[in-house]
């Protein structure tokens, strides 16, 4: 995740190489360790990649064009050190939260047709569950892939990039989005913020401590320029001892309906011997993208049959299950002394859409730095789930999935070795 901030430095650094100077840099990070998670039906202890940060390698380039202009590019690939693959699934597999456990009987289906409808519901849930994971399309440069032109009045970047809203998570989450203690870990199913977007064009400017980014992602759906599109922006100020900023985002699903919307605000300040961080997210999604293919599948399978009247009620039930109206809160405090670092955090997900579905996470992470590039990390996190919540701890490079049942709390204990190059 540190590459988010490096992007800004790369794009708008005041230190420009001599005319005609070019550079291409190979960089990366290797992160793996032993990870224990309670509260799930699957294996509790395993070797995991990406506990602190997702393991990765990449290439970034820079060509000075003269007159304050530069061409830049970044290609960044994911790698799973436990398997050598570039994608991963959650420990809970394709399991969905209990609120998706619909049955034909719930919709008043006659007994004769219940096996058919139950089979269809099971197929839909299996299809949705199969999409829970990271880079399941096995794209080579899943993390970042963009090219840009830096000018004296800002940078224009094009490709697959982090969103402006998620950049604020890195800046104002005390964990810098690392480990299961990151605030984003309790807002993943469905996700409350877009991490990256394809088909993006961004304008970014930095001056005197101020940074602003405006990003538009083309939906690229047949017959429409707006279906599936994303629009986001952020604006923040960074001083040596304090900083703060805000971000907004607006999505349309591939049916052209208003979908996930965000407002993010956060800040940090040096307080006493450490750094205090605060973050707030407001997320609302009345027309989740997940539901668009579900309604299409219902139409294909039930349209023109005696069960066609179920298309609306079943589609609405899935829409209710995926719909979001949530507030996310974070407070963190980080202490550093020589090679030692300890970060404490408390996070809370207030689910305003459902009763008794709030989630809290808290505890601490300790890091010992052998050098600037290599450190060892100890993670201790607890997830408290209300009776209708099922979040399970993950890591920076993978989702935790869900617990075995609603109201099941979960613990995460991990030790990880991280090396940067």
Element (H, E) at 115: helix 114-129
Cβ neighbour number for residue 103 with a 10 Å cutoff: 12
Q: Which helix (H) or strand (E) holds 248?
A: strand 242-252
- Reply yes or no: is the peptide bond before residue 190 cis, omega within 30 of 0: yes
Helices 291-302 and 311-322, axial angle in degrees (round to 10): 160
Same domain, 261 and 162: yes
pLDDT at 251 over 90: yes
Give 3-state DSSP helix, strand, coil % of the chain, rounded to 5: 20, 45, 35
pLDDT at 10 over 60: no
Please state, in angstroms and rounded to a whole number, the distance separating the CA atoms of residues 93 and 381.
21
The verdict on 365 and 411 lying in the same domain is yes
Can you give the pLDDT at residue 20? 59
CA distance 1 to 32: 16
In the chain, the percentage of residues whose pLDDT exceeds 90 is 90
Q: What's the structural domain count of the chain?
A: 2
Model pTM score: 0.92
* One domain, residues 155 and 226: yes
- Is residue 222 located within the same domain as residue 77? yes
| Mean pLDDT, rounded, of the chain | 94
Query: What confidence tens digit (pLDDT) does each residue in 385-394 have?
Result: 999 999 999 9
> Is the pLDDT assigned to residue 112 strictly greater than 70?
yes
Place of tokens 């707030």: 280
Q: Looking at residue 56, what is its pLDDT? A: 98
User: Is residue 236 predicted with pLDDT exceeding 70?
Assistant: yes
User: Which range of residues forms the domain containing residue 116?
Assistant: 94-131+289-322
269 and 378 in a single domain? The answer is yes
Q: What's the average model confidence in pLDDT over 9-34?
A: 71
| Domain identity same for 148 and 66 | yes
Whether the per-residue pLDDT at 8 is higher than 50: the answer is no
**In the chain, % of residues over pLDDT 70:** 95
Helix axes 114-129, 291-302, angle to 10 degrees: 150
Assign residue 67 a region (left: φ > 0; alpha: ψ between -120 and 50; beta: otherwise): left
| Tens-digit pLDDT profile for residues 48-61 | 999 999 999 999 99
Number of other CB atoms surrounding residue 299 within 10 Å = 13
Q: When comparing pLDDT for 164 and 42, which is higher?
A: 164
| Residues in contact with 13: Cβ distance below 8 Å, sequence separation at least 6, in sequence order | none
Model pLDDT for residues 27-39, shown as the tens digit of each residue:
999 999 999 999 9
Co-location of 356 and 220 in the same domain: yes
Q: What is the pLDDT of residues 124-157, one digit of tens each?
A: 999 999 999 999 999 999 999 999 999 999 999 9
- In this predicted structure, the answer to whether residue 19 has a pLDDT above a threshold of 90 is no
Same domain for 16 and 118, yes or no, is: no
Same domain, residue pair 127 and 192: no
Q: 243: domain CATH number?
A: 2.40.160.10
Residues 82 and 181 in one domain: yes
242 and 279 in a single domain? The answer is yes
Read off the pLDDT of residues 181-232 as tens digits, 9 standing for 90 and up: 999 999 998 999 999 999 999 999 999 999 999 999 999 998 888 899 999 9
The verdict on 99 and 230 lying in the same domain is no
Is the Cβ–Cβ distance between 62 and 18 less than 8 Å? no
| pLDDT at 301 > cutoff 80 | yes
Domain's final residue, options 322, 347, 370: 322
Pair of tokens at residue 28:
């990366």
Q: Is 18 a residue whose pLDDT tops 80?
A: no
Residue with the larger pLDDT of the pair 223 and 176: 176
* CA distance linking residue 289 with residue 303, whole number of Å: 21
* Mean pLDDT to the nearest integer, 323-349: 98
In angstroms, the CA 376 to CA 380 distance is: 14
Q: Give the mean pLDDT of 358-368.
A: 98
């Amino acid at each position: 995740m540190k590459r988010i901030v490096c992007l800004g430095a790369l794009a708008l650094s005041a230190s420009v190489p001599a005319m005609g100077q070019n550079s291409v840099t190979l960089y990366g990070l290797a992160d793996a360790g032993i990870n224990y998670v309670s509260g799930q039906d699957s294996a509790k202890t395993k070797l995991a990649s990406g506990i602190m940060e997702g393991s990765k390698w990449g290439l970034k380039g820079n060509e000075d064009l003269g007159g304050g202009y530069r061409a830049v590019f970044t290609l960044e690939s994911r790698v799973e050190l436990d398997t050598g693959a570039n994608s991963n699934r959650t420990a809970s597999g394709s399991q969905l939260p209990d609120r998706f456990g619909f049955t034909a009987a719930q919709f008043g289906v006659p007994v004769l047709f219940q096996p058919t409808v139950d089979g269809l519901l099971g197929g839909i849930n299996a299809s949705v569950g199969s999409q829970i994971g990271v880079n399941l399309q096995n794209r080579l440069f899943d993390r970042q892939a963009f090219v840009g032109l830096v000018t004296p009045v800002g940078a224009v970047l094009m490709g697959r990039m982090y969103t402006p809203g998620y950049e604020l998570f890195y800046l104002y989450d005390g964990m810098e989005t690392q480990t299961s203690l990151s605030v984003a870990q309790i807002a993943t199913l469905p996700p409350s913020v877009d991490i990256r977007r394809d088909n993006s064009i961004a304008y970014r400017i930095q001056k005197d401590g101020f940074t602003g980014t405006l990003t538009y992602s083309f939906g690229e759906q047949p017959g429409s320029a707006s279906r599936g599109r994303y629009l986001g922006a952020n604006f923040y100020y960074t001083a040596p001892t304090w900083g703060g900023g805000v971000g907004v985002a607006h999505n349309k699903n591939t049916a052209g309906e208003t979908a996930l919307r965000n407002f993010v605000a956060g800040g940090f300040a040096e307080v006493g011997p450490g750094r205090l961080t605060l973050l707030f997210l407001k997320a609302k999604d009345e027309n989740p993208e997940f539901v668009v293919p579900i309604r299409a599948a219902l139409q294909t399978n039930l349209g023109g049959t005696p069960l066609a009247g179920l298309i609306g009620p079943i589609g609405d039930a899935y829409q209710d299950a995926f719909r979001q109206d949530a507030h996310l809160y974070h407070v963190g405090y980080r202490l550093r002394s020589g090679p030692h670092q300890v970060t404490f955090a408390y996070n809370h997900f207030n689910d305003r859409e459902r009763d008794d579905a709030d989630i809290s996470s808290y505890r601490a992470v300790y890091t010992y730095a052998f050098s600037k590039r290599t450190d060892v990390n100890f993670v201790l996190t607890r997830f408290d789930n209300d009776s209708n919540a099922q979040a399970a701890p993950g890591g920076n490079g993978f989702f935790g999935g869900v617990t075995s049942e609603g109201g099941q709390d979960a613990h995460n204990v991990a030790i990880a070795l991280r090396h940067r190059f």
